């Protein structure tokens, strides 16, 4: 079974801090994704990556960046956290590019920015 692990379940940070959210998958998936989930808005795609050192902007990339130095790890970076980035962050992976493979999700990181 695919396991997607997010390093923190809950995180509290102050405004202006640099925040790192880590995600690791153990099944050699090519594609990795970061979403944020907010009540009434569903899931919105922040960034995604088809391969190591590759990244693509999703629908709401502003205020975020990502890093994919190794195939199994995809990090989301909040350069200067703001209160409107308080949210649930979900990492996901899928097998192959171009095959509409289903996503496998981690359990999420609930980030609060004060």
- Considering only residues 33 to 92 of the shown chain, the ones binding other proteins according to CB under 8 A are 33, 35, 40-43, 45, 48, 50, 58, 90, 92
CA distance 73 to 70: 6
CB of 53 vs other proteins, minimal distance in Å: 18
CA distance 103 to 114: 31
Q: CB-wise, 20 or 99, nearer to other proteins?
A: 99
| 55, 41 Cβ separation under 8 angstroms | no
CB of 32 vs other proteins, minimal distance in Å: 11
3-class secondary structure, 85: helix
CA distance 81 to 103: 27
CB of 11 vs other proteins, minimal distance in Å: 16
Examine residue 103 and tell whether it contacts other proteins (CB under 8 A): yes
- Supply 37's token pair: 């989930």
Sign (positive/negative) of CA torsion 104, 30, 86, 6?
positive
CB of 44 vs other proteins, minimal distance in Å: 8
Residues that bind other proteins (CB under 8 A): 4, 31, 33, 35, 40-43, 45, 48, 50, 58, 90, 92, 94, 97-108
């Amino acid at each position: 079974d695919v396991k997607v692990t997010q390093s923190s379940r809950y995180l509290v940070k102050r405004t202006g801090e640099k925040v790192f959210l880590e995600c690791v998958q153990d099944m050699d998936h090519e594609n990795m994704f970061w979403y944020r989930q907010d009540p009434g808005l569903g899931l919105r795609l922040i960034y995604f990556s088809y391969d190591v050192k590759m990244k693509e902007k999703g629908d709401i990339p502003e205020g975020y960046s990502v890093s994919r130095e190794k195939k199994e790890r995809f990090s989301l970076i909040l350069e200067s956290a703001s209160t409107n980035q308080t949210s649930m962050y979900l990492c996901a992976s899928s097998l192959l590019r171009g095959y509409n493979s289903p996503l496998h999700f981690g359990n999420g990181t609930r980030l609060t920015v004060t």
